[in-house]
Structure 1
Amino acid sequence: MIPLPRAWVLTSALLVGAAAGLILGIASTLLVDAAMRPDVVIALVVGVPSAVGMLMILLSGRRWVTAAGAFVLAIAPGWFGVLVAIQAAHGV
């Protein structure tokens, strides 16, 4: 059984994780100038935080580990949203 934290803790972890994903997405686009294939970037941005977050949630034994897994899981949509917004702004 997955130990669930209180609703406000879980919601806060998800909200802060999405904000951290936005900040990571902006920082990574400013720092990385290497040409990469778009499918590799999407796999890294969405796949890695999703896999790590789901493993943390599924294997958690404590409530704070579940909240931390939700935080890591919420990084992916924020980061992906930044990449989509940048592509839309460039008109590609």
Structure 2
Amino acid sequence: MVEIIKFVITKNFIFPLVFLGILLLIKPPFHIALIIFLQSAVPPITAIPIVTKRLEGNSSVTNQFIVSSYLMLLLSIPVMFSLFARFFNVI
């Protein structure tokens, strides 16, 4: 359970904050910044369990990480995009 919490905090909050900092440094156009930020804020792709299974890993644990990340998405996306909107003018 602790590992899932660490994963969710890292993927749903820390990654977008790091990318927001990078975007503030390089200041790309809004549409480019939005795409990059969106990629950093969304949960991992659902093909990861397939890759995990092919590499003989534990796909049930991978599924737990993905489901947890998607559930936290309900909170993290609005929070992260409100921060994004503070620094980038929404067109």
The alignment's TM-score, normalised by the length of structure 1, stands at 0.48
Which structure is richer in relative contact order (CA contacts within 8 A, separation 6 or more)?
A: 1
The alignment's TM-score, normalised by the length of structure 2, stands at 0.48
